[in-house]
Chain A
């Protein structure tokens, strides 16, 4: 079977990126915002792997970097959960609109 063109994969990752961005700006639930951030990170991941496979088939540099991104995303998720727990303790809610005290 013929290969999927590179552009298709890039469009997919761009679409995922913007879906993640939309979710980050729109969702009220903090955990759902976290899920959108993960989506953004993973879209970057797809980009790395795609470029590695299509442009530099013999090398593994892109895949190495993907592994890094996965590890960092996991660490960042842990920190984000800790922040959410602190926010919950202060505002008794995980609605991001509840934490609006730094306003005019």
Chain B
């Protein structure tokens, strides 16, 4: 039988997950009526505890625990059998600590803490302040459960919980129809992908005979001597599930609309944590994925197409949050194709491990600068009361701190040394160069585009020409609770590159070489080119952008309409699914199912009307029935006894 395996000195790890859950329960039940304004502080303090535990765990894991032959081994501090259906199928609550999960808990707790602190100032005065913090706690709990989960089914449960939290937070301002629609869209698209995820889990579990990661890792040597087609199918389906949550092409349609939620929510969920869940999923099952060359090729191309598509669209968007949303989609594309960047013709090359490490490193650094970008956007929107770039301009004089932080983040995302993004992006590009030259060219082009559209955003907001009359007060009015996270995340964007994440989080121990020398010249060069071009077009007010738009008018219009992908989806759902399946189903329900029930009721009513005359109210009728009964009984008894 099973017995609980809790390594006693690591029992505090459970606290990482449970503290935010306690926050959700406490604030959800009592936040609105009793705690009110204190809810923010309560949520933040609980999360601070969780962050400290996570950092302590990371310190303990990376310095002392489980190192064999220089490679970090997974540690399993907790295994609680929960729903045991048979000896093969059981949903357990178990925790796995390995480099990627430890890195993720650090990222999730730190960014969530920053968002909690920022929201103290940003969401102040909200009626449902306590509810907001409850939802944040629910999300953090779900995300931490997702990354620490060892059983794939438990992971799927947390996956769905994360989707629910996202829905609740996007639709937080439920009196706005656009927010409600966006929340529904996000949930439905990701739910649809989750169907494929579930089928993939079932196939994988069937083939591997277990649903535990530990069991799968144990069985790896004998199962995968040759690629197994059913497992390949399962892995593709799981990847599709991850693609939905990570907004990869073509399941990306929900991410730009999700910007309807409050800006700190966008920073937490749709930039740093939830959308990387798909990347985490592939990384978690990476030891399975690398055996299937065709699946890896799919991952590579989906990633690079998403990255490029998003970068092109971002060049035409005018809403600051939409630009950042497409930027997120693009960066996630980078992380994904990096995971797929393995050279199958030359498997002994050391650079094959670069893809995995680079992707995880980029996940780490991206969390910092993307969250910073969104929080800066939050401050700007807070002051300008508008999301559109045309209402901003010349803000560098009024908001020096935000200006500095935004600039740091833009330099980081463009991959300029020595900021954080440089180190992670170089590894990704080096891995891709090793794996597939064509994809490398596309990736290089996309890097240049990244620098271009980010600095287009930067120059349009902080330089260009000051917009009339919108900004009445400057940065001085911003509370410290909104400035502190900016400072911390800016420090992260500068220094996170120096944390040796790619050596700690890797497949086979520290990397043999880091591509920061010759191979870095082309990407940094193309990024600088992008920055210069953006400066030329957007720094000073002129008609150069308008002329550039006119020169590329066809492509510009296509990109500004997001390549009409949303329209295609609406066409398929409204014309084909609703008309072809929805209407007949509704007809069947209304006429046949309801008709059956109505028919039964009508028959009953008719019978009732016919026999109601028995209760006539006349005494003599009743007396007649009475004596008729006696007569009948008499006949019966006479018949029985003769």
B-binding residues in A (CB < 8 A): 21, 24-26, 96-97, 99-104
Q: How far is the CA of A72 from the CA of B28 in the complex (A)?
A: 77
Q: Which 7 pairs show the lowest CB-CB distances between chains A and B?
A: A103-B617, A100-B617, A104-B612, A104-B615, A102-B617, A100-B618, A25-B620
Task: Check if A25 sits within 8 Å of B623, measured CB to CB.
Answer: yes
- Are A96 and B620 in contact (CB-based, < 8 A)? yes
Evaluate contact between A25 and B624: CB separation under 8 angstroms: yes
Which residue of A has the minimal Cβ distance to B612? A104
Closest CB-CB distance, A84 to chain B, in whole Å? 12
Interface membership of B4, Cβ < 8 A = no
Inter-chain contacts of A102 with B (CB < 8 A) = 615, 617
Given contacts A25-B627, A103-B618, 18 further A-B contacts (CB under 8 A): A24-B620, A24-B623, A25-B620, A25-B623, A25-B624, A96-B618, A96-B620, A97-B618, A99-B617, A99-B619, A100-B616, A101-B617, A102-B615, A102-B617, A103-B616, A104-B612, A104-B615, A104-B616
Instruction: Report how far A37 CA is from B617 CA in the complex, Å.
Output: 21
Q: A21, B627: Cβ atoms under 8 Å?
A: yes
* Docked complex Cα distance between A101 and B624 (Å): 18
Is B613 engaged at the interface, CB distance under 8 Å to the other chain? yes
Contact flags (1/0) for B318-350 with A, using CB distance below 8 Å? Answer: 000000000000000000000000000000000
Q: Which residues of B contact A26 (CB under 8 A)?
A: 620
Beta-carbon contacts of B601-642 to A below 8 Å, as 1s and 0s? 000000000001101111110011001000000000000000
By a CB distance below 8 angstroms, the chain B residues around A97 are 618
Using Cβ atoms and an 8 Å threshold, which residues of chain B touch A25?
Answer: 620, 623-624, 627
Asked if B612 and A96 make an inter-chain contact with CB atoms under 8 angstroms apart, the answer reads no
Contacting residues, chain B, for A99 (C-beta < 8 A): 617, 619
| 7 A-B pairs in the complex with CB atoms less than 8 angstroms apart | A97-B618, A100-B618, A102-B615, A102-B617, A104-B612, A104-B613, A104-B616
- Chain A residues contacting B613 (CB-CB under 8 Å) are 104
A103 to chain B: closest residue by CB: B617
Which bucket holds chain B's interface residue count? 10 to 19
Provide the bound-state CA to CA distance between A24 and B624, in Å.
9
**Bound Cα distance from A25 to B621, whole angstroms:** 8
Q: How far is the CA of A21 from the CA of B627 in the complex (A)?
A: 9
B620 to chain A: which residues have CB within 8 Å?
24-26, 96
| B binding-site residues for A, Cβ under 8 Å | 612-613, 615-620, 623-624, 627
Q: Which residue of B lies closest to A24 (CB)?
A: B623
A-chain residues with CB within 8 Å of residue B623 when the two chains form the complex: 24-25
Q: How far is the CA of A101 from the CA of B619 in the complex (A)?
A: 11
A82 to B556, CA, bound (A): 103
* B629 → A minimal CB distance (Å): 14
Q: B130 → chain A, closest Cβ, in Å? A: 57
User: How many residue pairs bridge A and B at CB < 8 Å?
Assistant: 29
- Enumerate chain B residues within 8 angstroms of A24, measured Cβ to Cβ: 620, 623
Residues of chain A within 8 A of B618, CB atoms compared = 96-97, 100, 103
- When the two chains form the complex, which single residue of B615, B619, B624, B627 contacts A96, counting CB atoms closer than 8 Å? B619
Q: Which residue of A lies closest to B615 (CB)?
A: A104
Least distance between A103 CB and chain B CB atoms (Å): 3
- Identify the closest chain A residue to B619 (Cβ): A96
B612 proximity list for chain A (CB < 8 A): 104
User: Which of chain A's residues has its CB closest to B620's CB?
Assistant: A25
User: In whole Å, how far is A97's beta carbon from the nearest beta carbon of chain B?
Assistant: 6
Determine the distance from Cα of A102 to Cα of B158 in the docked complex, in whole angstroms.
Answer: 63
Assembly CA distance A26 to B621 (angstroms): 10
CB closest chain-A residue, reference B614: A104
> Closest CB of chain A to B600's CB: distance in Å?
22
CB-CB under 8 A from B615, the residues of chain A are: 102-104
Contacts of A101 in B (CB 8 A): 617
Distance of A104 Cα from B620 Cα, bound (Å)? 16
Q: For residue A25, give the distance in angstroms from its CB to the closest CB of chain B.
A: 5
CB distance from B621 to the nearest CB of A (A): 9
Give the docked Cα–Cα distance between A59 and B616 (Å): 49
User: In the bound complex, how far is the Cα of B618 from the Cα of A25, in angstroms?
Assistant: 11
* Smallest CB gap from A33: residue in B: B620
**A102–B624 CA distance with the chains assembled, in angstroms:** 17
Alpha-carbon separation in the docked complex, A25 to B616 (Å): 14
Which of B615, B616, B620 gathers most chain A CB within 10 Å?
Answer: B620
Hey, which chain A residues are within 8 Å of B619, CB to CB? 96, 99
Chain A nearest CB from B389 CB (Å) reads 76
A26 smallest CB distance to B (angstroms): 8
How far is it, in angstroms, between the C-alpha of A100 and the C-alpha of B624 when the chains are bound?
15
Interface centre among A21, A25, A99 (most CB of B within 10 A): A25
* A98 closest partner in B (C-beta): B618
A72 to B612 Cα, complex, angstroms: 38
Shortest beta-carbon distance from B612 to chain A in Å: 4
Residues of chain A within 8 A of B624, CB atoms compared: 25
User: Which residues on the A side are within 8 Å of B616 (C-beta)?
Assistant: 100, 103-104
Nearest chain A CB to B617's CB is how many angstroms away?
A: 3
- Residues from chain A with a CB closer than 8 A to the CB of B617 are 99-104
The minimal Cβ–Cβ distance linking A90 to chain B, given in whole angstroms, is: 14
Complex-state Cα separation, A104 to B616, whole angstroms? 7
Please give me the residue from chain A that is nearest to B611 by CB atom: A104
Please, which residue of chain B has its CB at the minimum distance from the CB of A28?
Answer: B620
Q: How far is the CB of B330 from chain A (nearest CB, A)?
A: 76
> Nearest chain-A residue to B613 (Cβ)?
A104
CA distance A21 to B616 in the complex (A): 20
With both beta carbons as reference points, the residue of chain B lying nearest to A101 in the complex is identified as B617
A27 to B55, CA, bound (A): 100
A100 smallest CB distance to B (angstroms)? 3
Of the listed residues A96, A99, A104, the one surrounded by the most CB atoms of chain B closer than 10 A to its CB is A104
For A21, list chain B residues within 8 Å (CB).
627
Cβ-closest chain A residue relative to B627: A21
Give Cα distance in the complex from A60 to B581, angstroms. 93
Complex Cα distance A24/B620, Å? Answer: 7
Q: Given the complex of chains A and B, what is the CA–CA distance between A103 and B615 in angstroms?
A: 5
- The residues of B that contact A104 with a CB separation of less than 8 Å are 612-613, 615-617
